[in-house]
Amino acid sequence: RLSRRVTLVTPNVPELAILAEEPRATSWAEVLAQAERVSVRFAVTVIAKGGHLEGDVVPDAVVDASAPIGERVVEVPGARFATTNTHGTGCSLSSALATLLPGAESVADALRQAKRWLAESIRHGADLKVGQGNGPVSHFAGLWERGGIQTRPSPVQVMDDWWGETADARDAI
């Protein structure tokens, strides 16, 4: 009932399966397909998240069935980090999105910024040295390192941003 009252949902893979009333997706293509069906069913934008899938890549995507064809799925790549400090990453991503959306050009732009911040927070989670088992991410890693709120992109993110920004020029060539 609540899904029809919101504009954006951020389910993980098991939660997405429940919303879709389908078995849990085991591939990224299945996640995207379920996210599109959920988007249609509830008239919401879905942030499809790949963190519960196997592999070294962790893609996420903005899935909006009401967007024009060709813009319904905007993928945002990501890499998996070898760490046990992943407790609360879904809630952290959702909170970051809620914070960034009002000032972002688009949901995809907010997702890119949120993923950049979360990746840095995950990378530095072990520095906290707290708890046992799956520990927390270091939400303030960038603030403590640089004294500011802008997240430093990783080399892969710089390359991905550059590649996307030069797409029109490369296509013209």
Residues noted as catalytic: 49, 86, 88-91
Bridge partners, 8 (sequence order): 45
Distance between CA atoms of residues 76 and 58, nearest Å:
9
Distance between CA atoms of residues 61 and 73, nearest Å:
6
